[in-house]
Amino acid sequence: MSELLKVTHLQKKFGDNVVLKDINLSVKKGEVVVIIGPSGCGKSTFLRCLNGLEEIQDGVIVVDGLPVEAGKREITKLRQKIGMVFQSYELFPHKTVLENIILAPMKVQKRSKDEAIKEALELLDKVGLVDKKDYYPRQLSGGQKQRVAIVRALLMHPDILLFDEVTAALDPEMVHEVLETMLSLAKSGSTMLIVTHEMSFARAIADRIIFLDKGEIVEESSDAKSFFIKPTTERAKKFLKTFDYE
C-alpha cells in the first residue's frame, strides 16, 4: 500500500518550550492510527501541525508527496486533502447545517451547488441527520453537531481525516453516535488519525496505536489488542492504569 503521510524529525516549540521532539511517523492509505497519551503530551498540537495550523520548527511533513508548510500559499490546496474535526465542532453558527457543509466545496473547490447539495444530503442521510439540514447549529445537540462537522469534512473528499478529541466535549450518551459514525468510516477504508481518550474505542478502531508522552512517541504498536493488555513500556503501563478502577 502507498504511503499517504510521512512525518520525519518533526520538532515543535512554543517559545523555548519543546512540545514535540523528533516525531517520525508514516501512515499508509486506508490505515487508522490512534494517538493516545496523557493531557498536555502534544497529541492535539501534533494533529494541528499536520494541516499547517501550527508552524513547525524542524522536520518535514509530507502529505501525498507534497510538503506541508504553514503560512505558504499552497497550504490551502493541501488542507483540502486533510479533513479535520475539532473537539468543539466549530460549525459556523450563522449558517444552517446544509450551508455549513456545502460552503467549502462550493467556494474552495468550485463545485456546483446542486452537486454539493446532492452529496451533502446523501452523507447527512447516512449519519441520520437529513431532516436537520435546515437547522442552525444552536438547535442541535452536541452529538448531532459533531456528526455534521464530520460530514462537512467528508464532503471535501479528503485523503486523510484528523480527529482531535472529537468526543471529549460530549455527554456520555452522545459519544456513542459519533464513534459509530467514525467506525463506519474506518470500515469504508478512510485513512484516519485519531486523538482520543476513549480507550475501548481506540482498541476497536485502531490498526496502529501511538502512545505519546512528553512530546515523543514512547510506544508504537500495530497490535492494538495486545497493546492494551500488555504494553511494553513502563510509561504506557502507568498511563493505561489510570483508566482502571479496582
Partner 1 sequence: MANLGIDVLFKGTNFLRLLQGLWVSVEISLVSVAISILLGLVVGVLMTFNKLWLKAILKIYLEIVRIMPQMVLLFIVYFGTTRVFGWDITAEAAAIFVFSFWGVAEMGDLVRGSIKSIPKIQFESAYALGMDKKQTYFYIILPQTIRRLIPLSINLITRMIKTTSLVMMIGIVEVLKVAQQIIEANRKASPNAAFGVFAVVFLLYFIVCWPISRLAVYLEKRWA
Interface residue list for partner 1 (CB under 8 A): 48, 51-53, 76-77, 79-80, 82-84, 86, 88, 90-94, 103-104, 107-109, 152-153, 156
Smallest gap, in angstroms, from Cβ of residue 75 to partner 1? 8
Cβ proximity to partner 1, 72 vs 241, nearer residue: 72
Phi, then psi, of 211 in degrees rounded to 5: -105, 115
Cβ proximity to partner 1, 64 vs 216, nearer residue: 64
Cβ proximity to partner 1, 82 vs 194, nearer residue: 82
Contact assessment for residue 96 and residue 67, using Cβ atoms and an 8 Å cutoff: no
Q: Is the dihedral of CA 53, 58, 61, 65 positive or negative?
A: positive
Smallest gap, in angstroms, from Cβ of residue 96 to partner 1? 13
Smallest gap, in angstroms, from Cβ of residue 194 to partner 1? 16
Smallest gap, in angstroms, from Cβ of residue 60 to partner 1? 21
Q: What is the DSSP pairing of strand 58-63 with strand 66-67?
A: antiparallel
Cβ proximity to partner 1, 108 vs 229, nearer residue: 108
Cβ proximity to partner 1, 54 vs 177, nearer residue: 54
Report CA-CA distances (Å) from 121 to 97, 131, 155, 185. 10, 9, 10, 17
Smallest gap, in angstroms, from Cβ of residue 117 to partner 1? 17
Contact assessment for residue 151 and residue 169, using Cβ atoms and an 8 Å cutoff: no
Cβ proximity to partner 1, 41 vs 91, nearer residue: 91
Cβ proximity to partner 1, 44 vs 196, nearer residue: 44
Smallest gap, in angstroms, from Cβ of residue 144 to partner 1? 17
